[in-house]
Chain A
C-alpha cells in the first residue's frame, strides 16, 4: 500500500496513470495516522495545560473533559505564593551560565575548528567525555565541597556554595560547555577557508577576524547554541534539588505543589504549565538544531 505514496518526488508516469486516486486516498490515510500519533504524543502536555484551568474537582473527573468553562483560581493561588524569586533565580542561572558557556566555548570552538593547536582532537574528545560521565560520579564530592564545613582534611572549610546560585551557575556552565563547544565547532567548520585566508592576507588580526568575519557568519549557530544551553539549564532539577533546595529555581517552585496524596492537581498543573511554557516556546524555534547540539554536531 505504501508504495504508491510519493515522497515529494514526482511519481513515475506509468504509475501516476494507473493509481492516481488510490495514491490520494493513501495520502489522506497517512495524514490521518500521523495526526493521530502526533496528538496522542502531545496529549499529556495538552492535558496538563487544560487541567491548570479546571477546578480541583473537575481535575479528577473521568472521562477527561477537554471542553469546559475555564477558571483562573489556580493561577490566582499560584500567583499568591511568591513565585517571582524562583523565576528570577531560574532566569539568572540560565542566562549567566549560558553567557559563561559562550565566553568559554566560542574561542575554544573557534580554535579547535580553525586554528588547531597540537592534540586538538584529544581536547575535543576530552570535552565530550566530561558530558557523558554520569553526574553520579561527582555528586558526592560536590556536595562535600559545596557545604560550609567542607572536607576537614582537605581545606579546613567548604566553599559554602550550598543553597547559592553561584554553585548552580558553575555546574550548569560545566554541563553545557561540551555541547556548546562541539556544536559551535561544527558551525565554524562550515565557514569557507577562502574567506578566512582572504581576511588574514588583508591583515586582519585575530580580534577583527573574529568580530567582523567569523561571528557574523555563524549567527544562526550562536543563537541555536544559546537556546540549547538555556533549555538545559532551565530544565535541570537534580543539582538544584540537592545543592540549592530552598531559595532555588523554577523546578523547586513546582515541587512545592506536590503533596503526599496529590489532591491539588489543578494547582500543580498550573505551576507545571508556568514552569515549562517559556522553554517550550523557546524550543519550538530551533527544532532541528536541538539534535545537532545533542549529537555533538554529528547530525546536521
Chain B
C-alpha cells in the first residue's frame, strides 16, 4: 500500500518525477494485487494435477492399499490397450462433443436469427430461449429422462404418436441413449450459442445490410453472404468454448444413463469417475484424467489463441 503513496505528490512534481520509477511502482503494486488469486489458483488446480500425474504412475486401489506400488506407465498401457470401456469412451467422447457442439450451434443460430428481428414480445421470447441454460443441469436431466423421453409416459413419444399415428417412438434411453443425452445437452447449450451469435449479428452494421438489399440480395443470400462470414469468428469462439464446457458435462450422463446401456454413453470424464469412485482405482483413474487433460490441451490452445486475437490486448 505504501508504494502507492509515491503518487501523492504535488501536481508540479509529478511531471518531473522520472517515469520509470512510476511504472516500476505500478508494476509492483500490480504484482502484489495479483498474487493472492494466483497462489490460490495454483494451490487448488495445479497441485492436485501434479498429484494426478504422480498417482497415474502407481498401482493403487483403495480397496487394496497394501498392494500400492510404483508401476511406471502400466496404467496408461492397460487403459489404452486392454480396457474396452476406455476405448469405447474415446469414441463416445468424440461423438458426444462433436454432436452436441454442432447441433447446439445450429439450433443457436436459428434462435439468434429469430430474435435478431423486431416482433411483438421479442424480449419475452429471448428470455424463454435462455431459460434452459439457467436450469440446474441435474434437474434438466431428470425432467428430460422422466417426463420428456420416458417410453410410456413421455411427452416426446406422445407427440410423435400424434403426428405419425400408430408409429411408436423409439425407446429413447434404451434404444438411442447417445442421441438422448446429446439432445438434453443441446437443449441447455443452444441458448449459450444464441447469445454469442446474437452479439455477433448485432455488430453487423445496418448500412452493410441495407447496401446488400439495395443490390437485390434475397433473405437467404443476405444470410449467406453477409451474416455468416461476419459470424465466422463468433462461431469459432462458440465452438471452442462449447467444446471445453461440453466435454465436462457429466450430470446428464450420470442422471440419465449412468454411462449405459453397456458403455454406450460412457465418455472419458465419466469413465474417470467410474474408475475412481466405483472401482476405487486411484492409479487408473488418475492416468485417464491425465489423458483427458492432454487431449483437451489441443482445444484449449486453439481457444486461448482465438481469445487473444479477439481481445486485441
Which residues of A are at the interface with B, using a C-beta cutoff of 8 A? 1-3, 5-9, 12, 15, 27, 30-31, 33-35, 37-39, 41-45, 47-48, 51, 59-64, 104-105, 107-108, 110-112, 115-118, 120-121, 123, 125-130, 132-145, 151-154, 170-171, 173-174, 177-178, 181, 200-201, 203-207, 209, 231, 234-235, 237-238, 241-242, 250-251, 254-255, 258, 262, 265, 268-269, 272, 275-276, 279-280, 283-284, 287-288, 290-291, 294-300
A44 and B213: CB pair below 8 A? no
27 sample A-B contacts, Cβ–Cβ < 8 Å, listed by A number: A8-B117, A8-B118, A30-B117, A31-B121, A37-B114, A42-B128, A47-B155, A64-B158, A108-B38, A115-B30, A127-B37, A130-B46, A137-B292, A138-B49, A138-B289, A140-B272, A141-B52, A152-B65, A205-B5, A234-B136, A237-B138, A254-B139, A265-B153, A283-B131, A284-B130, A291-B195, A299-B200
Quick check: is B29 within 8 A (CB to CB) of the other chain?
yes
A296, B307: Cβ atoms under 8 Å? yes
Number of A-B contacts (CB under 8 A): 355
Contact between chains at A201 and B11 (CB < 8 Å): yes
Q: Which residues of B contact A9 (CB under 8 A)?
A: 206, 209-210
In the assembly, what is the distance between CA of A141 and CA of B286, in Å?
8
Closest partner residue, chain A, to B27 (CB atom): A117
Residues of A within 8 A of B32 (CB): 111
Cα–Cα, bound, A276→B132 (Å): 10
Decide if A123 touches B34 in the complex (CB within 8 Å): yes
* A28 to B290 alpha-carbon distance, docked (Å): 54
| Contact for B153 among A2, A60, A151, A173, CB less than 8 A | A60
Q: Is the CB of A126 within 8 A of B251?
A: no
Q: Are A205 and B8 closer than 8 Å at their CB atoms?
A: yes
A38 touches B129 (CB 8 A): yes
State the Cβ distance, B138 to closest chain A Cβ, in Å. 4
For B79, the chain A residues whose CB sits under 8 A away are none
* Among A62, A108, A110, A288, contact of B36 (Cβ-Cβ < 8 Å): A108
**Is residue B102 contacting chain A, with contact meaning CB distance below 8 A?**
no
Contacts of A7 in B (CB 8 A): 116-118, 206, 209
Q: How far is the CB of B94 from chain A (nearest CB, A)?
A: 15
B residues in contact with A126, CB < 8 Å:
38, 41
Contact of A48 among B8, B36, B147, B286 (CB under 8 A): B147
**Chain B contact residues, majority secondary structure:** helix
A231 close to B147 (CB less than 8 A): no
Inside 8 A of A275's CB, which chain B residues have their CB? Answer: 136, 139
Q: Are A136 and B288 in contact (CB under 8 A)?
A: yes
The docked-state distance in angstroms from the alpha carbon of A284 to that of B133 is 11
> Do the beta carbons of B138 and A42 come within 8 Å of each other?
no
State which of A3, A63, A258, A269 has its C-beta within 8 Å of the C-beta of B222: A3
Give the residues in chain B near A299, CB-CB below 8 Å: 195-196, 199-200, 234, 237
- Whether A136 lies near B41 (C-beta < 8 A) is no
What does the 1/0 interface line of B60-99 toward A look like (CB < 8 Å)?
0000010010000000000000000000000000000000
Closest to A287 in B: B130
Contact call A37/B110, Cβ cutoff below 8 A: yes
* Distance of A54 from chain B, by nearest CB (Å): 11
**Would you call A291 and B48 a contact (CB within 8 A)?**
no
**Please, which residue of chain A has its CB at the minimum distance from the CB of B114?**
A34
